[in-house]
Amino acid sequence: MYCKNCGKEIEEGTQYCPYCGISQNEINNISNKESNIWGVLSLIFGILGGLLGLVFGIVGLCTYKEKQNRLMCKVGIGIFIGWIVLFTFISIISIILFA
Ligand SMILES: [Zn+2]
C-alpha cells in the first residue's frame, strides 16, 4: 500500500507512515469530517468579547455545511452580540450615574 499523505510505499496495514509519520486512519477521518476550527475560534473569541468572535462566526457560517458546525458559529456570534448588549447597557448606566 501507499501512504495517503506522502505517497511512498509502506508495509500493508501500517498505521503510521515511517517516512512522514502521518496516521493512515487519521487521513480518512479528516477527509470525511469537516473540521470546525472557525466555530471553535468563534466561541473562544465570542466569550472573550472580541470582535473576532463575530468575524470567525461569519467565516464559519460561510464555510460549513454541517448543522452542528453552523450552530457553533451561531452560538459564537450570539455570545458576541450578548457582550455588545451588555457593554452598551453598562455604558448607558455609567453615563447616567457619572454625567
Ligand atoms: Zn507518508
> What's CA 32's distance to the chain center, in Å?
17
DSSP collapsed to 3 states, the chain: CECCCCCCECCCCCCECCCCCCEHHHHHHHHHCCCCHHHHHHHHHHHHCCHHHHHHHHHHHHHCCCHHHHHHHHHHHHHHHHHHHHHHHHHHHHHHHHC
Q: Is the pLDDT of residue 8 over 80?
A: yes
Cα–chain center distance at 33: 13
**CA 70 / ligand 1 centre spacing (Å):** 33
The one-letter code for the residue type at 64 is: Y
C-alpha cell at 63: 464555510
Ligand 1 (single-atom ion) residues, CB below 5 Å: 3, 5-6, 17, 19-20
Distance from Cα 34 to the centre of ligand 1, integer Å: 22
Instruction: Read off the pLDDT of residues 17-61 as tens digits, 9 standing for 90 and up.
Output: 899 988 887 545 444 556 788 888 888 888 887 788 888 889 988
The pLDDT > 70 percentage for the chain reads 91
Q: Where in the chain are the domains?
A: 1-33, 35-98
Dist. CA 9 → ligand 1 center (Å): 8
Query: 66: CA distance to ligand 1 center in Å?
Result: 29
The pTM of this model reads 0.56
